[in-house]
Amino acid sequence: MLISLRPVCCLSLLLLGVQTLAVAADRGAAVPSIPGAGDYVAVPNASMLASPDQTYKVVFDARHGAEHPNELAPAVLLAASEINTLAAHGVPRENARFAIVFHTAPSDDAVLDDAHYKARFGVANPNLPVLAKLKDAGLDLYVCGQELLADGVPLDAVAKDVTIVEDGLIALIALQNRGYALLSF
């Protein structure tokens, strides 16, 4: 009598698929990607790929503004780029702990609400949609209140997704003391 192994193979594959889904669910939701901002590009045969098992803690020291008013600030672009890399590799949201601290006059422009940005540059703030997506992805966004006041920027000009801290340098130090790597842009 000939016994078919087809049902056994199908059942094994089905159980393997259920087990794989359970492992993915245990890891939590992956970091969401940020389309149109620092898109991910796979590099064939590259080493040191992002790993879902690694925790990534970084604070972006936003020191420079965009070259043109219709462009993203460098720190915003690079934070989105790194989030997209983590998303492409299935890194769980809880394993991506990012923050951006804006604390110079050129970088502070990136966090102005649309009304104040348009009054200054004549165009809508291109950073705001990306900052909102970064915030939704779990990033913390800070701006130095001392720098804003020194530059005559009203505190109510700051976009709603950004938290005003008293001193941007203290925020950078505090985050580094919590184990965040510092990247300056």
3-state secondary structure of 170: helix
C-beta neighbour count of 54 within 10 angstroms: 12
Average pLDDT over residues 162-167: 98
The pLDDT of residue 139 is 95
The pLDDT of residue 28 is 62
> What single letter denotes the amino acid at residue 137?
A
Q: Is the pLDDT of residue 7 over 60?
A: no
Strand order in the sheet with 181-184: 163-165, 140-144, 96-102, 56-62, 181-184
Q: Is the pLDDT of residue 105 over 80?
A: yes
Q: Is the pLDDT of residue 130 over 90?
A: yes
Closest CA to 107 of 185, 171, 48, 21: 185
The pLDDT of residue 147 is 96
Direct distance between the N- and C-terminal alpha carbons of the chain, in angstroms, rounded to an integer: 72
Q: Which two tokens stand for residue 129?
A: 């949609």
The pLDDT of residue 31 is 74
The pLDDT of residue 10 is 35
Q: How far apart (Å, rounded) are the C-alpha atoms in residues 161 and 19?
A: 38
Residue 121 dihedral angles phi and psi, to the nearest 5°? -115, -10
Closest CA to 102 of 155, 61, 139: 61
The pLDDT of residue 4 is 44
- In the chain, domain spans: 56-184
Instruction: Pick the more confident residue, 3 or 12.
Output: 3
**Whole-structure pTM value:** 0.83
Write the pLDDT tens digit of every residue in 31-80: 778 988 888 889 999 999 999 999 999 999 999 999 999 999 999 999 99
Instruction: Pick the more confident residue, 116 or 5.
Output: 116
% of the chain residues with pLDDT over 70: 85
Domain 56-184 in this protein, CATH class: alpha beta
